[in-house]
Amino acid sequence: MGSMMRRSGLVAAGVMALVGYASADRDDGMTFFVTSTGPGNGANLGGLEGADRHCQSLAEAVGAGNRTWRAYLSTQASAFDDPNFVDAHDRIGAGPWRNAKGVVIARDIGELHSAYNNLNQGTALDEKGRPVNGRAETPNKHDILTGSRPDGTSFPGAPFPDMTCGNWTNGGIDGSAMLGHHDRAGPVDASWATSWNSAHPSRGCDQQALRSTGGDGLFYCFAVESSRRRR
């Protein structure tokens, strides 16, 4: 009897130790947000590097600068057969991703790019934990810059049209960028209209053009890694 009680005690202690270890190693901090503001020059974000810096700067302002932040943006090659392009889904790590309230957006890349992600107006918050205006609000800011296809990959280069506003260096009236709808709402009930990352192209690349289609030059930011690593 005494031996059984000792074994039970050892098992219980082991379980408690594992629970304590898991709790100590758990990290539920913010790993996803929609930018509260863009750099202010339309879709000219200073390329991927400038967009990443903007994500990092916004994160640092709310105490989340211990992570490496990346913008969810694709780039296009200069020609159809040119391999020099970047897919957004390759830039953002493996997940899981949580908003500023700790709500899980997606557990991994597969779920993020599936019908089962949890990205919508109620969860696609900015870095301060605030909702971003949707299609039914004024001003409408639901158009989010992505330059991506639904699976998070880039569009082919020329002769295909510009879908990244010159790889995020063009803030003029010409060109266009593929946009997603963070609120999953559109003018019709169709898959493209409710896509978070590939709904329709913009009318141009300057701030006025982005606003005219229901946006404000905002984009998604994802944390690639944390300074607090799992063992």
First to last CA, the chain: 38
Q: Is 43 helix (H, G, I), strand (E, B) or coil?
A: coil
Q: What is the extent of the structural domain holding 112?
A: 28-226
pLDDT at 27: 54
pLDDT at 84: 86
Domain CATH for 135: 3.10.100.10
Any domain includes 6: no
DSSP E strand stretches across 64-162: 67-71, 97-98, 104-106, 143-145
Any domain includes 160: yes
pLDDT at 42: 97
pLDDT at 24: 31
Could you tell me the pTM of the whole model? Answer: 0.85
pLDDT mean by block of 10 residues, the chain; 231 residues: 42 37 52 97 98 98 96 92 91 97 97 97 98 96 98 94 97 96 92 95 97 96 66 32
Number of domains in the chain: 1
pLDDT at 80: 76
Any domain includes 183: yes
